[in-house]
Structure 1
Amino acid sequence: MVKQLFPEAQCQNWPPPAVQPMWKTIWETQNSCLREGVFRTTCDERLIDALPPESHNARVAFLTPKYVTPEKTACVVHLAGTGDHTFERRLRLGGPLLKHNIATMVLESPYYGQRRPSMQRGAKLQCVSDLLLLGKATIDEARSLLYWLQNEAGYGKMGICGLSMGGVHAAMVGSLHPTPIATLPFLAPHSAVVPFCEGVYKYATAWDALREDAMAWNAFQENAEALTQDVTSLTEDVARKTGITIEQVRDRLRSVLSLTDVTRFPVPKNPQAVIFVGATDDGYIPRHSVMELQKAWPGSEVRWVTGGHVSSFFLHNDAFRKAIVDALDRL
């Protein structure tokens, strides 16, 4: 399943599966309107079978200016960072952009919000494969929404942005889009390997559980009869035989998460419309990881804000909004 999640970029078909969200108006004012829509995820059927049932239906919020035609309006799709379960935070980021005639579409990720599986607590994903499924489904759904915005809603200029994990997904979507769009990864690494194997997430990952998983897999490979043994005694026995260390487990995770390395993806059609925003004191995303992205996409721009991973989002929304406006202007 892991190998199917992120096939080679050149194998990505266009157009993506079409979506027809079912919309309902949440509120409207004299100058703006907020709607929410629901549609079935556009993932491949094999991936839908792997997703929890709660994640099969996608939800979006759509904030638009009134009395301005889509041809004269831009729209940016905002993807979720880790733990961003609802629409509100990203709507607050996009709201002031209405005065620039920029609409905001917010996608709720699988495993988050109303799409969260019943066995999951908060944003704590239970399996490594959940992280990859979340990413693949988000990318597929975002590509379908961009296609809808262009061909059904009639928007001329479009963009994709996201914070942290959402920034990685935004970079992938911008890379795979067949025409130029504004691509805005905020506080994003070049790969999920960085936060989980190098940054602070390595202190919050259940390495012992992953070690037991590696032991059980080794046992399965070495002796099929071992499957009939007690799992606890099995893993302890294999541990003595194999001597699997936590560092070896990290290497295994590093190998799997290398699928998310954005530098392996194609350069977007208009790299001048790519603006990365990094934080000077980010404990999750080191400076070198942001620069890896810029190096891989010549012509793109990196901007820096002062602060850490979380404080930068709360203190520098204006910098993110300016990056959105500037990137759209370059299309």
Structure 2
Amino acid sequence: MPPSRLDAIYRRLLITRFFEKGWGKPENLRRLFEFRKIVSNREACYKLVPEDYPVEITKEEKTSECTILEGKFMTPLELHLPGLVPKAAQEAHFQVMLPNKWRDPNHKPICLHLAGTGDHYYWRRRNFIAKPLLREAGLGAIILENPFYGVRKPEDQVRSNLHNVSDIFVMGGCLVLESLVLLHWCERNGFGPLGITGLSMGGHMASLAATNWPKPLVLVPCLSWSTASAVFTTGVMSQSINWDMLETQYFSDGQYRERLAKMVTVIDEAFMAGQHFVKNYPSTIKDLQHDLKEAKISRSTSPVDVSKRSSTNPNIIHLDKENSLQLSESLHNKLWSTDRYELTNCEVNELNEKIKAVQDKLRMERHHNEFLKNPTKISTETLVNATSDTISPGSTATKLPSVQESKTEEESTLTKLMNSILPATTSAVATRQAEKIDITKTKWWEREALQFMRGMMDECTHLKNFSVPYDTSLITAVCAKDDAYVPRDGCTSLEDIWPGAEIRYLDAGHVSAYVLHQKLFRSSIIGAFERAKRKREQNGNVCEPISSCALSYDDLQRRYQDQMQFYN
């Protein structure tokens, strides 16, 4: 299904701009990439946080329906990677909501809620998810303040605008280790079963954190997917990134291109570009027809039928003879030699490159004509949209030759058509102007800096790089079919990475799902905790009964002081 238009419109209304200061220091990125190899291994990561890691409870408040605790602790990431976490974010703050009376004294379920993009402080998660879960199912909640958000936001940061790409990895590292601290704290206080959830970015962070807990853990990631690379490269959030600046920094400092780029790997690169093109082939041809119409060229072409795929290889796309498009002599002979031909990965890539080259030439021709027509008032927008029939001002107008309607379908192939309508040479003026104007912004995946971004995101966020959660039967992921923020095309499916996990799909976009389907998110969390409860009962693993819903404030303070003396 097409991406949600509402997602795109909502993104345009926001003024948030990400990574305005660039990639981050190369040395910091190198340390993060190396640390990722430790965090992605459950056994190694679990050892980074002691079971008695000190946590201070700073406030206790009892209301008619729940008990609210507030606490803080030093983020473990600062201990392992000193200097990477901003001073304001080094102290983790959280809020706990516990029912005044548990429905079952042997089961005290509590869920850790991680923040999505722009979710500052506690109120949104407390009122939209935590309180309703407390009323409906007696679920306790821990709401963790995100690094770089709320009270943990650096002074020079505006809203949610992370300064560097490296900040998103620092945020993820903090949340993974801080989640382990809070899960240990829950166990020490007799809570269980335990779970973790989040929406959007919070859902993906929850997935990463859950991979490092070596015990059964409820996991309900909402509106996230297997990697964050698509979010920042093909999703609507990619429009809020200054790619020109990132590209300039990437090429100006050799460490990014020559050293760091070799440390990252794009996991889902194979066939992604070809798949994306073929899936959108009819619309691509429509755009080409529009371009040719503006150039006063009439032609006809038929879209490729991509409705059928090979039963043995889903990456092979069937092309019907009558709907095939000739791109080269080799492809032409193969396409017309049989009634049906299976297009391989290399040939799909060739098809993709040919179409791209034709579209770029058409755009450059329009830019050239408009620039020569009015060079003093030229703008990027008019260059992209304008079309002229002349080759040079002040000279005899030269019309682009048209394609005769009597030509056969075979003769009206894209390659021959382009050879007939494009001039043999292009002036130096047009070449210089084309270099100044970035005509590839709608195809960022072709740019090397964006490939580096994809590699970084896959390296640090792709779930294939992390351990599989201890019990995948306790996972319920909720995804939006039309999500334009978190595209799924070209990314490995969660079903393939986590066999046994339940994946629920909504007929909605990212924004509409968040606004209209909160009840489904809560029901998914409740259902996953009910499964965890049944498993606990079968295994005879229940909480030790304690007189109150948690240790008293004074007891927690004394325990914290004892722990601090031990570590000091």
- Shorter-chain TM band: 0.7 to 0.9
Letter in 2 for 1:154: G
**Cα displacement (A) at 1:101:** 2.0
* Residues 139 and 266 of structure 1, relative CA distance in 2, 3 Å threshold: same
- Tell me if structure 2 keeps the 8 A contact 1:70–1:153: no
**Deviations 1:245-301 (Å, cap 9, x if unpaired)?**
961100111111112101222221211100000112211123447871122101100
What is the 5 A alignment of 1:26-37?
27-37=61-71
Indicate yes or no: 2:166 matched with 1:129.
yes
Which protein has the larger Cα radius of gyration, Structure 1 or Structure 2?
Answer: 2
Aligned residue for 1:295? 496
Indicate yes or no: 2:44 matched with 1:14.
no
* SS of corresponding position for 2:76: coil
Single out whichever of 262-271 and 290-299 deviates more from structure 2.
290-299
* SS of corresponding position for 1:176: coil
Aligned residue for 2:133? 97
Aligned residue for 1:279? 480
Backbone CA RMSD of aligned residues: 2.3
Single out whichever of 258-267 and 272-281 deviates more from structure 2.
258-267
* SS of corresponding position for 1:303: strand
Letter in 1 for 2:206: A
- Tell me if structure 1 keeps the 8 A contact 2:46–2:212: no
**Cα displacement (A) at 1:209:** 1.7
Indicate yes or no: 2:402 matched with 1:201.
no
**Deviations 1:185-240 (Å, cap 9, x if unpaired)?**
10002111010011111111111221121122128999xxxxxxxxxxxxxxxx99
* SS of corresponding position for 1:191: coil
What is the 5 A alignment of 1:168-187?
168-187=204-223
Question: For residues 143 and 35 of structure 1, what CA distance do their matches in structure 2 show?
Answer: 18
**Cα displacement (A) at 1:135:** 0.7
- Tell me if structure 2 keeps the 8 A contact 1:277–1:302: yes
**Deviations 1:124-164 (Å, cap 9, x if unpaired)?**
111010010011101110111011101x2111200010111
Aligned residue for 1:248? 448
What is the 5 A alignment of 1:1-331?
1-8=31-38, 9-10=40-41, 11-14=44-47, 16-17=49-50, 18-25=53-60, 27-68=61-102, 71-92=106-127, 93-99=129-135, 100-150=137-187, 152-218=188-254, 247-258=447-458, 259-288=460-489, 292-331=493-532
* SS of corresponding position for 1:50: coil
Single out whichever of 73-82 and 246-255 deviates more from structure 2.
246-255
Aligned residue for 1:230? none
Give 1 or 2: higher strand fraction: 1
- Tell me if structure 1 keeps the 8 A contact 2:111–2:195: yes
* Residues 211 and 325 of structure 1, relative CA distance in 2, 3 Å threshold: same
Q: Which blocks of at least 5 consecutive residues in structure 1 are unaligned?
A: 223-238
* SS of corresponding position for 2:81: helix
* SS of corresponding position for 1:12: helix
* Residues 116 and 296 of structure 1, relative CA distance in 2, 3 Å threshold: same
Question: For residues 111 and 71 of structure 1, what CA distance do their matches in structure 2 show?
Answer: 37
After TM superposition, the runs of 4+ consecutive aligned structure 1 residues lying more than 4 A away are 219-222, 287-291
* Residues 20 and 279 of structure 1, relative CA distance in 2, 3 Å threshold: same
- Tell me if structure 1 keeps the 8 A contact 2:203–2:220: yes
Question: For residues 130 and 70 of structure 1, what CA distance do their matches in structure 2 show?
Answer: 42
* SS of corresponding position for 2:504: strand
Letter in 2 for 1:248: E
* SS of corresponding position for 1:266: coil
Q: Which blocks of at least 5 consecutive residues in structure 2 are unaligned?
A: 1-30, 259-434, 533-568
**Deviations 1:51-101 (Å, cap 9, x if unpaired)?**
110001111011110132874210000001111111111112111212322
* SS of corresponding position for 1:86: coil
Aligned residue for 1:228? none
Question: For residues 327 and 221 of structure 1, what CA distance do their matches in structure 2 show?
Answer: 44
Letter in 2 for 1:191: T
Letter in 1 for 2:455: S
Question: For residues 159 and 248 of structure 1, what CA distance do their matches in structure 2 show?
Answer: 39
- Tell me if structure 1 keeps the 8 A contact 2:219–2:474: yes
* Residues 302 and 288 of structure 1, relative CA distance in 2, 3 Å threshold: farther
Question: For residues 108 and 163 of structure 1, what CA distance do their matches in structure 2 show?
Answer: 14
TM-score, scaled relative to structure 1: 0.87
* Residues 219 and 125 of structure 1, relative CA distance in 2, 3 Å threshold: closer
* Residues 102 and 221 of structure 1, relative CA distance in 2, 3 Å threshold: closer
- Tell me if structure 1 keeps the 8 A contact 2:120–2:149: yes
**Cα displacement (A) at 1:23:** 2.8
Aligned residue for 2:327? none
Aligned pair count reads: 309
- Tell me if structure 1 keeps the 8 A contact 2:57–2:72: yes
- Tell me if structure 2 keeps the 8 A contact 1:163–1:185: yes
Single out whichever of 262-271 and 13-22 deviates more from structure 2.
13-22
Share of identical aligned residues, percent? 30
* Residues 34 and 221 of structure 1, relative CA distance in 2, 3 Å threshold: closer
Question: For residues 508 and 486 of structure 2, what CA distance do their matches in structure 1 show?
Answer: 12
Higher relative contact order (CA 8 A, sep 6+): 2
- Tell me if structure 1 keeps the 8 A contact 2:57–2:69: no
**Cα displacement (A) at 1:179:** 0.3
Letter in 2 for 1:153: N
Single out whichever of 90-99 and 72-81 deviates more from structure 2.
90-99
